[in-house]
A and B are shown apart, each in its own frame.
Chain A
C-alpha cells in the first residue's frame, strides 16, 4: 500500500480533513476528544448540540436520522464515526431508530466517498460457550440482539465502505450508563454494598472506551481493514468480584460487601416490568464466561489494550473529578 500522491478530491472542500462524529455518548465524545488532542478538527453532530468542549471540536445540532440535515453536516468529511445509540434500552426503540439513522449515514457517506466506522457490541453473537473471535457467527435474532444483527447486515449490503469495531462492556472515563459505570465505580468508592447482575465469579471482558476509540480511528485510516468486523483491543477477562476488588484497590478504599442478583430474578421481575425484561435479555453475558478475544484485531490494527489497572485508575480519577450533578 502506498500513500496517496494526489488528493482524493481534485478540489478539496476543506484544506484540512474534517472528521465527523455522530453522538456524544462515551464513545462519540472519546473519539472526538482523541482527534482534538491530536490537533485534528472534528465536527460533532448531536440532536442536542451537547458534547465535549474543545477549540477543535465544532458541535452542531443535527438529527442524524434526517437526510436533509445530515447531508449538509458531513460536507468535506472523509470519515464518519457513527456513535449514536438508541434513546432507550429497548428493542422497540432500537428497531425504530437505529436502522433508519444508519441508512441515512451510509447513503450520505457513499455520496461523498467517506468511510463509516461503527462501534459495535457483542449482542449479535448471542449466548456463546467459547471466547468470541472475529469469526464467531453474528446471527442472533431475538430482541435487541436481532437489531444488531440486522444493522451489521445493512452495513454489509451497502456499497459504502464501513468498519465495525466490536467491544465488550465498557469502562473508562465518561462511561456512566454501563455495568462498570455509575452502578459500580461510585458505589465502590462510597463503600456501599455492591450488587452485580448475574455472577460475581464468571470471567467477563471489559473494554476500555479509549482503546475502542483508538481502534476506530486506526481502522478508518487503514483501507485494507475496511469492510470487516474488528474487535477493540480488550485486556484479559476478570470476574466481577476481581473488577470490584481492583476498583477498590485503585481507589484506596475497602473492598465492599458484594452479592449477585441472579438472572432468574431479573427474568421473573421482567414479566411485569419492561426495562427489567430488556436488562434480562442480555443477562446471559454475566452468569457464564463472556470473553472477547481481540488478539487477531490487535495484530491487524497494531494496537494493544490499556492495562486494567491503568484504565481503572483513569476511571476512578474521572469519577472523583466528575461534577456532582453528573454523579
Chain B
C-alpha cells in the first residue's frame, strides 16, 4: 500500500461489537434461506460470518437466542421496507394493488424466508414457539400500525387487521408453493389477478362519500 493512503479512523469497541453481531445475523439469514432450519447450526453460521464459534456465543448464548434475534432483525428489515413507501395513495384499486405488490416483494424476499423456516420448525418445537412469540406479536402489531398509517380511517381497525392477514397469508402461501419465488420478478398472471381482486375487495369496503350517494 502506498503511504499516501490516509489512515482509516479506528473503530470503537461498540462499533466492532455491533459489526460482528450484524455479520452473525446476516449469516443466519443466509443459512436459513439457502440451507434451511436443520442445517443452520452455530458452526455453519459462524463459518459463514467468518468468526469463531466462541465469538458467536459471546453475542448469543444459545442457537435459539441467535434464531430469535435473527427473526427480530428480519422484522426490522420488513417493517423498514413496508414503511419506506413514501406517502402511498390508497384511493383507487390500482393504487391499492401497487401497495400490495410492494408488500409482495417484502413477504417473498429471501430474508423473509427466515420467518417461514422458523415458523415451520416452531410448529413441533414448543420452546422455539414460545421464544418466538414476542417477536411474532410485535412484528404483526407493527405491520398493522404501518398499514393503519397508510390506510388511515378507510377501513375499521378489525377489517384492516383481517385484510392484512389475508394478504400476508396469501403471499406466504405463494412462497411455500412456488418454492423458489423471485420477489424481483413480476408476479405470474394468476398472482397478479389475485392481488387485483384483493385490491378491489379492499376498495369496495371503503366508506362511500355522502355526496356521491345516489338514491
Interface bits B114-154 vs A (CB < 8 Å: 1, else 0): 00000000000000000000000000001001101111111
In contact, B83 and A258 (Cβ under 8 angstroms) = no
Partner of A268, one of B83, B151, B154: B83
Alpha-carbon distance between A195 and B152 when the two chains are bound, in angstroms:
9
- Give, as a whole number of angstroms, the nearest-CB distance from B144 to chain A: 11
Q: Scoring A residues 234 to 273 as 1 if CB is less than 8 Å from chain B, else 0, what string do you get? A: 0000000000000000000000011111101100110111
Complex interface: chain B residues within 8 A of A192 (CB): 89
Are B76 and A268 within 8 A (Cβ)? Answer: yes
- Say yes or no: B87 contacts A265, CB within 8 Å: no
Contact A257 B154 (CB under 8 A): yes
Known interface pairs A271-B76, A272-B80; A265-B142 also in contact (CB < 8 Å): yes
Q: A257-B154, A258-B152 are in contact. Are A265 and B89 (CB under 8 A)?
A: no
B179 within 8 A of A: no
Q: Mark B61-93, 1 if CB is under 8 A from A, else 0.
A: 000000000000000110110011001010000
- With a CB–CB cut-off of 8 A, which chain B residues contact A271? 76, 80
Residues of B within 8 A of A228 (CB): none
Docked complex Cα distance between A258 and B153 (Å)? 8
A262 pairs with B145, CB closer than 8 A: yes
Contact A265–B152 (Cβ < 8 Å): no
B153→A257 contact, CB < 8 A = yes
User: Provided the pairs A192-B89, A268-B83, A271-B76 are in contact, do residues A259 and B142 lie with their beta carbons within 8 angstroms?
Assistant: no
Are A265 and B84 interface neighbours, CB within 8 A?
no
Q: Are B80 and A268 in contact (CB under 8 A)?
A: yes
Taking Cβ atoms with an 8 Å cutoff, the residues of A that contact B are: 192-193, 195, 257-262, 264-265, 268-269, 271-273
4 closest A-B pairs by beta carbon, nearest first, are A257-B152, A259-B152, A269-B80, A259-B149
Residues of B within 8 A of A (CB): 76-77, 79-80, 83-84, 87, 89, 142, 145-146, 148-154
Q: List 15 A-B contacts (CB under 8 A).
A: A195-B149, A257-B154, A259-B148, A259-B150, A261-B149, A264-B142, A265-B79, A265-B83, A265-B146, A268-B80, A269-B79, A269-B83, A272-B77, A273-B80, A273-B84
